[in-house]
């Protein structure tokens, strides 16, 4: 596994394995999914698949880690360099929504299959998820400190955002009328209209819909 991660084409193959496995687990449930199901969907032999994964239990943890790495690299880290909290919130929602819609289930599995992990795996994943949640909540707190938040509980706001975004994987279809970009924009529009005081919008290059 480590050796394979060194080359980018192997990285892409591994990402494909994770995404395909995630889709099957999401459809059938983790318990009902066999390594054979995943191999078949990828057009590989079981032996070929074991070249990429170490086993079913390890696979679930690896998929979740892959999803959290994507979230960190494409959403959380770039967001960290955005000073204005309202703009940062806009970026986080848009990016996270985009990752859920194009990740084809990888991030959803993070949410749904936590009970199937070993306790040690579960602790690691839960800690990383909590860390992300705190970053999201801190951003909303900062919007509040600037006097720009409506009269809404910060924790409720943060969880409501996560709910909206995580729900995407249950209903969003790539063949539908909205692209992942557009979905990200729609969701941040609902949230920013819902959370930010009207007089505080607009200063940040946000698209204002009135």
Nearer to its own copies, 31 or 69 (CB): 31
CB of 195 to its own copies, least distance (A): 7
Residue 195 near its own copies by CB under 8 A: yes
- When asked if residue 165 is in the footprint of its own copies (CB under 8 A), the reply is yes
Q: Does 8 bind its own copies (CB under 8 A)?
A: no
Give the chain's end-to-end CA distance (angstroms, integer): 51
141 counts as binding its own copies under rule CB under 8 A: no
Phi, psi of 196 (to 5 degrees): -90, 135
Residue 168 contacts residue 178 (beta carbons within 8 Å): no
Residue 183 CA to residue 100 CA, distance in Å, equals 10
Q: Which stretch binds its own copies (CB under 8 A): 42-50, 65-73, 87-95, 165-173?
A: 165-173
Tally the residues of the chain.
210
Q: Which two tokens stand for residue 210?
A: 């009135």
Among 1, 4, 12, 32, binds its own copies (CB under 8 A): 32
Q: Decide: is 183 part of the binding site for its own copies (CB under 8 A).
A: yes
- For the record, the structure tokens of 37 come out as 């199901």
Dihedral sign of CA atoms 130, 157, 90, 88 in order: negative
Binding range to its own copies, per CB under 8 A, among 47-55, 58-66, 86-94, 153-161? 153-161
Question: Which of 25, 63 has the CB closer to its own copies?
Answer: 25
Residue 80 vs 198, nearer CB to its own copies: 198
Query: Under the criterion CB under 8 A, does residue 138 sit at the interface with its own copies?
Result: no
CA gap 122, 205 in Å, rounded = 39
> In which residue are the tokens 């360099």 written?
81
Q: Nearest distance from residue 203's CB to its own copies, in Å?
A: 17
The helix, strand and coil proportions of the chain, stated in percent and rounded to the nearest 5, come to: 75, 0, 25
**Binds its own copies (CB under 8 A): choice among 59, 79, 164, 206:** 164
Per the CB < 8 A criterion, the answer to whether 57 and 40 are in contact is no
- Per CB under 8 A, residues contacting its own copies are 27-29, 31-32, 112, 115-116, 150-153, 156-157, 159-160, 162-168, 170-171, 177-178, 183, 186-187, 189-195, 197-198, 209-210
């Amino acid at each position: 596994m480590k050796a394979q991660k060194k080359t980018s084409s192997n990285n892409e193959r591994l990402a494909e394995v994770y995404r395909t496995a995630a889709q099957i687990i999401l459809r059938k449930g983790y318990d009902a999914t066999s390594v054979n199901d995943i191999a078949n969907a990828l057009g590989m032999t079981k032996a070929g698949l074991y070249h990429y994964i170490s086993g079913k239990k390890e696979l679930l943890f690896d998929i979740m880690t892959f999803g959290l790495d994507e979230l960190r690299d494409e959403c959380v880290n770039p967001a960290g360099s955005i000073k204005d909290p309202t703009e940062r919130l806009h970026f986080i929602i848009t990016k996270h929504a985009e990752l859920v819609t194009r990740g084809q289930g990888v991030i959803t599995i993070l949410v749904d299959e936590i009970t199937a992990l070993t306790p040690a795996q579960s602790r690691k994943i839960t800690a990383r998820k909590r860390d992300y949640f705190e970053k999201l909540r801190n951003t909303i707190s900062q919007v509040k400190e600037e006097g720009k938040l409506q009269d809404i509980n910060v924790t409720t706001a943060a969880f409501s955002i996560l709910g909206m975004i995580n729900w995407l994987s249950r209903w969003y279809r790539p063949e539908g009328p909205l692209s992942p970009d557009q979905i990200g924009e729609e969701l941040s529009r609902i949230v920013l209209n819902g959370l930010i005081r009207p007089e505080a919008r607009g200063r940040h290059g946000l698209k204002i819909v009135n």
